[in-house]
Amino acid sequence: MCAEVVKSRLLLIAATVPPLLVILFFAVNGWNRRSAVSVSSNHSRTTISVAQMQESLARERQLLLEYEKEQSALRTVVIAQRKLYQDGQISKEQVVLAEKSFVAALKRVHEMRYSVTETQIAITEAMLGEKVLRMPGLPVGGFSQTAELVRFNGGFKWSLKEAPRIERFFSQTFGRSLPVTALGQSDTHNRLGFDHRNSMDVGLHPDSKEGKTLIDYLRKSGIPFLAFRQAVPGATTGPHIHIGKPSNRLAS
Ligand SMILES: [Zn+2]
């Protein structure tokens, strides 16, 4: 559930509300650029527990439901206003006003969906991260997999500067942009207290066709990664691929 899915949904809706298409095209592209990159160099030292973060995630999910309802209601209003305008009962300005409210509601939904995904992925890393650090280290080039995790300790000297190369490979292969959910350190990582400064998260299930292709590319390139599957009993996890070395706790 990432930017591309949201984008295609938005465009689907836009197809039924044609004059909004142009506004949406620019708006969605703008949102993607902003939301896909969440780099922060300031480390807040006030960390919170995974349980607290899960409470925060539950609140975000509730808000998302409310935003989605609001967006759906506003869409109905836009359709009704257009009909009234065609019948000569209201002015063009009233329709434009309703359209603007609809676009603002879509934006809120998009941002909240992104935030839910990012938080879910960070929680997954915080929950499984400690476990990863306790596992026996892999030799250079070593690969291992369990029901929860796939690990690869590639010998390539990875840094975030390599991110564009991976994005290029993915878009050339699949004709869409790589669904990056975190590039470097985000506020969520700071709050959970782990170091994600030199890592990037991709919201792809490691066992999906795209996930497998990306993993294959990373292995061939010697780029270290961790892939999180959906196998934590009793926990809502965010399956994804973490590119870079496993995250350590931030030094306090
Ligand atoms: Zn990560």
Residue 64 pLDDT greater than 80, yes or no: yes
- State the pTM of this model: 0.73
Kindly give the distance from the C-alpha atom of residue 100 to the centroid of ligand 1, in angstroms, as a whole number.
36
Task: Tell me if 249 is assigned to some domain.
Answer: no
Task: Tell me if 77 is assigned to some domain.
Answer: yes
Kindly give the distance from the C-alpha atom of residue 172 to the centroid of ligand 1, in angstroms, as a whole number.
23
Task: Tell me if 61 is assigned to some domain.
Answer: yes
Kindly give the distance from the C-alpha atom of residue 246 to the centroid of ligand 1, in angstroms, as a whole number.
8
Kindly give the distance from the C-alpha atom of residue 23 to the centroid of ligand 1, in angstroms, as a whole number.
33
Task: Tell me if 248 is assigned to some domain.
Answer: no
Task: Tell me if 186 is assigned to some domain.
Answer: yes
Q: 227, 80, 68: which is closest to 151 by C-alpha?
A: 227
pLDDT at 143: 95
Domain extent at residue 102: 3-243
Secondary-structure percent of the chain, ordered helix, strand, coil, rounded to 5: 60, 10, 30
What is the token pair recorded at 141? Answer: 């080039």
Kindly give the distance from the C-alpha atom of residue 69 to the centroid of ligand 1, in angstroms, as a whole number.
31
Q: Report how many domains make up the chain.
A: 1
Task: Tell me if 251 is assigned to some domain.
Answer: no
What average pLDDT does range 115-141 have in this prediction? 87
> What is the b/e burial string over 107-137, where b = at least 16 CB atoms within 10 angstroms of the residue's CB?
bbbbbbbbbbbbbbbbbbbbbbbeebeeeee
Q: How confident is the model at residue 148 (pLDDT cuts 50, 70, 90)?
A: confident
Cβ-contact 170, 203 below 8 angstroms: no
Q: Which residue has the higher pLDDT, 235 or 196?
A: 196
Neighbours of 68 (CB within 10 A): 16
- State the Cα–Cα distance between residues 163 and 1, nearest whole angstrom: 20
What is the token pair recorded at 39? Answer: 């780099």
- State the Cα–Cα distance between residues 91 and 96, nearest whole angstrom: 9
Kindly give the distance from the C-alpha atom of residue 2 to the centroid of ligand 1, in angstroms, as a whole number.
15
User: What is the pLDDT of the chain when averaged over all its residues?
Assistant: 83
- State the Cα–Cα distance between residues 69 and 23, nearest whole angstrom: 21
